[in-house]
Chains A and B, each alone.
Chain A
Amino acid sequence: MKKLAILALGALALGVASAQSNVIKIASVSPLSGPQSALGTAISQGTQMAIEDAQARFQQLGFQLQFAPQDDQATPDVGVAVARRIVNDADLLGIVGHLNSGVAIAASEVYKDTNLAMVSPANTNPRVTDRGLLNVNRICGRDDVQGPVGAEYAVKVLKRNRLFVIHDKTPYGQGLAEAFAARAKELGANVVALVGTEEASNFQPLILQMRAQRPDLVYYGGIYDKGGVLVKQMRERGITASFMGGDGLDASDLVKIAGSASKGVLFTTTAGPISTLPKAAAFAQRYKAKFGKDPEAYAVYAFDAANVLLNAIEASIKANGGKKPTREQVSRAVREVKLDGLTGRIEFDSKGDRKLSDYYVVSMKEAKYPGEVLRVIQFAPPAARQ
């Protein structure tokens, strides 16, 4: 009898949630548990900020705006299942996600079926948008643009010639590092190593290789949590080569992790440092007040991604005579969005890449975040390869 009672209580709990028709939902889908949760949480929190900002605006339009954070556990199977699960929620009009390109590619095949708009804050793999799907867009840059930007700077401006290229064996890190290495080779530099490692804490084998190879620049394709540890261990063991990476290093936690070793770290990013954008400074302040920590690049990207969606939804509500728009209308409206976000001017091309992105080369002159902008390079994404 006890068992039955417990079951019944459980059923009541599950049955409480019921649908309302004037609700509009935006979901963030990113890893919220497991080793990558720190990054995924930034995405979810950035989205949450944008949505909470817009709730009053939507109230006036007659809609209740809700946020639905989802956990894809950084694996494609869970990502696809979550995607299937949420596409059936008719109130859901947009997705901010994912963190991993592998998950995004698989899940966006599901969103595609109902033209559910997805704006990615983090998937830099070219293939995410190269498939030419109407509903897939991204705020962040592309590996095949960002890597070369870094290579140009390292070889032409810094005049580095012995490059030691490392990546973290994720689609993001590998794509970035390989694009960097390829461009650097074209520019005549000597790439002494191009090596991947899944290691998170012990980088000694790589540092020992550096001792033998004596590079003058180490490029790291990957995220700050490992990159910070790597540069810290390098400095501890007396490797003085410059350290450079992509927007994965763009986080205040880099300084926390690497400490004084973060001094002199270089990275490329599409998120303009807070010093150049007053709006971004205000965002950073509010974010810190709400979540108790500085926003990471992914939080900024996610905030912009959510705002793109909100903008598109508002526009399509208006175009629709105040009624709730369809998913396809929203997806089309996303491509029309013109928005000055925290990361600069946002407009999408026909593939969903940003038309023109500013790439900043940032140097951590001191062991303090954010760093100082050394150079701004404007770059358009490559045309669709069909």
Chain B
Amino acid sequence: MTVADLLSILPQTVLEGLLLGFVYAMVALGYTMVYGVLGLINFAHSEVFMIGAVIGLEVFRFWGNPDAPVISNPFLLLFVALVFAAVGSGTMAVLVERFAYRPLRKRGSKNILVPMITAIGVSFLLQDLTRIYAALRHNEFNMQYRTFDALNTTLMLPLQTTIQVKGIIIILVSVLMLIGLTYLVNRTKLGKAIRAVSQDMQTAALMGINPDVIISRTFLIGGSLGGVAGVLFGLLYTNVTPYSGVLPGLKAFTSAVLGGIGNIPGAMVGGLVLGQLETLSGTYLPFLTNGNFGTEYKDVFAFLTLVLLLLFRPQGLFGQNVSEKV
């Protein structure tokens, strides 16, 4: 094992980190937007993400059934899967807000922990409901994304680096979604309303904005992004289970905090940074520590970096240092 060997895989490592980072970024947006308007850590978002992956998988399975394909073009099929997952996950997020969080808000509870426990309950519920669905419908627990040669074709890049067609799609879709979201938040009326509600819900209400509607839309947007991310995640790593959302969800939440929770560009950058941190440390730690502290410490490394960063920038990378209102 020479230094040259180690350096030879560096470009590929960065590329893999980038793919992972885009998935994290899209999920992180869901956390950060909900946090922005409600100040709530929506733990159930990881399940919304997972359900997106499952919906995409079902589209692949039914309209892309190899024996009798309704849609035989894999790119079109993927597009349909993305649309369905976005709509499905968005709807799911709205339903969760409507039935689990809104009743709490109407009661006027100021305790932020109460909706968080509800979120955990919703998480358990959605996991097991998905499990029942998968068991009854397919008698399965591990669900597989169908692979298409057209999506898996490997392309050679410079520096001994390779990328698959699906990798390119992941980058393209994510970048498009992130640009779209930035436009939506900064340039449209809805975006303005969302920003207004996240700054001050009561004042926004006085200005003629219906906070309930805006909150609902925020869940819709965040959920849709999560659903799209779910499909991309499934495409990338191929295996989905009812519990697949938990770990990526946790990482995405970490990304959101890393970027400064509540801050939209922050979540994007946070996701990309975490993707790199995780992949780089997972790949290189064993070499650097002579195998004593290996890949199993990649999450520790990511968390400790987060802690260090927060010590020096308590508001995260992009968060604004809001002075306390007294």
Contact = CB atoms under 8 A, between A and B. Distances in A.
Contact of A257 (B142, B154, B295): B142
Interface stretch (B71-79, B82-90, B238-246): B238-246
A293 B247 contact: no
Interface residues on A, range: 35 or more
Contacts of A35: 241, 243
Main secondary structure of the interface of A (DSSP, over half): helix
A1 to B, nearest CB: 25
Count chain B CB atoms within 10 A of each CB in A195, A201, A206, A293 and give the residue with the most: A201
B247 A209 contact: no
Given A201-B239, A201-B244, A229-B238, A194 B141 contact: no
Interface in A174-198: 193-198
B139 A292 contact: yes
Interface string B272-300: 00000011001100110001001110100
B9 A212 contact: yes
Contacts of B131: 33, 37
A84 interface: no
Nearest to A292: B139
A253 B237 contact: no
A257 B128 CA distance: 21
Interface in A94-125: none
A225 B279 CA distance: 22
A238 B154 contact: yes
Interface residues on B, range: 35 or more
A233 B9 contact: no
Contacts of A38: 141-142
Nearest to A41: B141
B202 interface: no
Contacts of A169: 296
A212 B8 contact: yes
A76 interface: no
A41 B283 CA distance: 35
A375 interface: no
Main secondary structure of the interface of B (DSSP, over half): helix
B237 A256 contact: no
Contact of A225 (B128, B139, B142): B142
B1 interface: yes
Interface in B228-242: 233, 237-239, 241
A232 B162 contact: no
Interface stretch (B12-20, B168-176, B314-322): B12-20
Count chain A CB atoms within 10 A of each CB in B243, B278, B294 and give the residue with the most: B294
A256 B296 CA distance: 27
B65 to A, nearest CB: 15
Contacts of B248: 201
B291 A233 contact: no
Interface in A64-83: none
Nearest to A33: B128
B283 A209 contact: yes
Contacts of A53: none
Nearest to A207: B16
A205 B279 contact: yes
A38 B6 CA distance: 39
Given A35-B243, A201-B244, A213-B1, A256 B142 contact: yes
Given A197-B296, A204-B20, A211 B243 contact: no
Interface string A233-263: 1001110000000000000010011010000
B283 A205 contact: yes
B286 A193 contact: yes
Interface in A249-297: 253, 256-257, 259, 291-293
5 A-B pairs closest in CB distance: A205-B282, A38-B141, A201-B237, A208-B283, A204-B16
Interface of B: 1, 5-6, 8-9, 12-13, 16, 20, 128, 131, 139-142, 144, 147, 152, 154, 162, 164, 233, 237-239, 241, 243-244, 247-248, 278-279, 282-283, 286-287, 291, 294-296, 298
5 contacts: A35-B243, A195-B286, A206-B295, A256-B142, A259-B147
Given A211-B9, A225-B239, 17 more contacts: A35-B241, A38-B141, A193-B291, A194-B291, A195-B286, A195-B291, A196-B294, A197-B295, A197-B296, A202-B20, A208-B13, A213-B1, A225-B142, A232-B238, A233-B238, A236-B164, A256-B142
